């Protein structure tokens, strides 16, 4: 049981440090499994229109939601491998 607990702790730690990336419309967001944002890159300068700041806000919001959904799905995919009572 102790070995299983140690494996669970290691997998959890690895997952929390794993990086996930989402890109759309010239914006890339990278976050860890812990949902801490690592970076946001804006490659399309047209998105930085001072007349319409909502464009970039909408793209970043969309990407963050997609990224967090992906992280949640990957985390749930790990769960069947874990015995009941263990989890994130």
- Among the four given CATH numbers 3.30.1330.40, 3.10.450.50, 3.30.1310.10, 3.20.20.70, the one describing domain 2-81: 3.30.1310.10
Percent of the chain surpassing pLDDT 90: 64
Per residue in 41-78, pLDDT tens?
999 988 888 899 899 999 999 999 999 999 999 999 88
Q: What is the mean pLDDT of residues 16-36?
A: 96
Per-residue pLDDT band for 82 (boundaries 50, 70, 90) equals low
Checking if the pLDDT of 37 tops 80, the result is yes
Q: What is the mean pLDDT of residues 20-32?
A: 96
Instruction: Give the pLDDT score at 56.
Output: 93
The DSSP letter of residue 34 is T
Closest CA to 64 of 43, 25, 35, 26: 35
């Amino acid at each position: 049981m102790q070995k299983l607990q140690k494996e669970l702790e290691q997998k959890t730690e690895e997952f929390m440090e794993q990086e996930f990336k989402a890109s759309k419309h010239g914006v890339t967001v990278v976050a860890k499994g812990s949902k801490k944002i690592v970076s946001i890159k804006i490659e399309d300068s047209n998105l930085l229109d001072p007349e319409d700041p909502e464009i970039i806000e909408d793209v970043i919001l969309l990407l963050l939601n997609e990224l967090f959904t992906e992280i949640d799905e990957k985390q749930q995919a790990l769960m069947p491998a874990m015995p009941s009572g263990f989890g994130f």
